[in-house]
Amino acid sequence: MGTVHHIGIDIGGTNIVCGLVSEEGTLIHKIKWPTEAAQGGSHVFDRIAAMIDKLLTEANVSRQSVQAVGIGTPGLVDPERGVTEFAGNLRWTNVPVADEVARRSGFPVFIDNDVRMYVYGEAMRGAARGFRHVLGVTLGTGLAAAIVNDGSLYYGGGNLAGELGHIKLEGIPYECGCGGFGCLETMVSGSGIARQAKAKLLAGEPSLLRDWFPDASYDHLTAADVSRAYDAGDPAAIAVMQTTGRLLGQALSYAVTILSPDVVVIGGGGANAGERIMAPMREELKRLVFVKYWERLVITAAEHNDDAGIFGSAWNARQRLLRKEGN
């Protein structure tokens, strides 16, 4: 058998990223298009098929060398049936993504949850490579986790394992998109960091951020702005990052105790805050868990960031195709 490739795709609310990965795990080429989710699922699947063609043409790689396509979508996904059961930001309910893309592209297609694919990518090809028990966490629009054990993803009942962002913790005063109140991700996520800073500004706390948004409209304030203010020594921004890190450490203390991972990988856009949240997170986690966990635990930032989902989906497609073919 000649050269072999797999395609990994990440469907986000804003963009679709499509990457070609070699059997050795090298990302050969990738392209990124707007999702245009508002135009409906059918439109999105047509785009994905067109992206695959474009990807292969630009990389000058033959269709015959591509074994399978893996896709990560947000929301609740049933990988066995290839169905995205619910994805709020795409407005999808029970959408047979795998079949739709397979029919249009002509390739075998395997889908899974995007966070699971991200963490799978980091576990197999990234920062957690070589560790047997991996707990991965992403801070993006929300907060979620995934578990990879000896190279296998852990799904749990209903494929629901890892919804860390919807734990309700004391002192969280926000309604969550899930319908719950006080969910962790309303504060611990990229958007949660921005929300906390905005609340402080609206409460009249002194902050540099006020000078950066002189029209007092904080809707465009991001976690990156909070990081910049933190670096300038702004007390409000420092307090936000410390609260975020501490709450994350608290949630992780339960996860670490149940799972005893060898490594915790932290990724997603909100993780760009880096040590600003990792330092208080570590401190809190150390304080809360049995010392035996702490002594052996490695905590690390994700290596591939935006590309982790591509690696994970491509690897997932490879593994699921092998299983399907009876190996």
Number of residues that bind Zn ion (CB under 5 A): 5
Binding span for Zn ion by CB under 5 A among 2-10, 34-42, 59-67, 181-189:
181-189
Least spacing, CB of residue 180 vs Zn ion, in Å:
4
Closest CA to 240 of 287, 203, 289, 214: 203
- Which residues neighbour 51 within 8 Å (Cβ) at sequence distance 6 or greater? 9, 16, 18, 31, 33
Least spacing, CB of residue 177 vs Zn ion, in Å:
6
Least spacing, CB of residue 165 vs Zn ion, in Å:
6
Q: Of 148 and 184, which has the nearer Cβ to Zn ion? A: 184
Give, in degrees to the nearest 5, the angle at Cα 175 between 173 and 180: 110
Separation CA 274–CA 277 (nearest Å): 6
Q: Please give the C-alpha separations between residue 277 and each of 44, 75, 219, 243, in angstroms, as whole numbers.
A: 36, 26, 22, 8
Q: Of 181 and 290, which has the nearer Cβ to Zn ion? A: 181
Q: Is 208 in the site for Zn ion (CB under 5 A)?
A: no
Separation CA 286–CA 243 (nearest Å): 16
Least spacing, CB of residue 156 vs Zn ion, in Å:
17
Kindly identify the residues of this chain, within the stretch 125-144, that bind Zn ion according to CB under 5 A.
none
Kindly identify the residues of this chain, within the stretch 151-180, that bind Zn ion according to CB under 5 A.
166, 176, 178, 180
Q: Of 25 and 180, which has the nearer Cβ to Zn ion? A: 180
The stretches of the chain forming alpha helices (DSSP H) are 41-59, 97-105, 114-125, 190-202, 208-212, 223-231, 235-259, 275-288, 291-296, 308-324
Kindly identify the residues of this chain, within the stretch 15-74, that bind Zn ion according to CB under 5 A.
none
For the chain, helix, strand, coil in percent to 5 are 45, 25, 30
**Token pair of 102, please?**
């397979």
**Token pair of 118, please?**
């991200």
Least spacing, CB of residue 215 vs Zn ion, in Å:
31
Least spacing, CB of residue 181 vs Zn ion, in Å:
8
- Which residues neighbour 223 within 8 Å (Cβ) at sequence distance 6 or greater? 190, 191, 193, 194, 269, 270, 272, 273
Least spacing, CB of residue 89 vs Zn ion, in Å:
14
| SS3 state of residue 89 | helix
Q: Of 163 and 225, which has the nearer Cβ to Zn ion? A: 163
Q: Of 163 and 234, which has the nearer Cβ to Zn ion? A: 163
Binding mask 212-241 for Zn ion (x = CB under 5 A): ------------------------------
Residues that bind Zn ion (CB under 5 A): 166, 176, 178, 180, 183
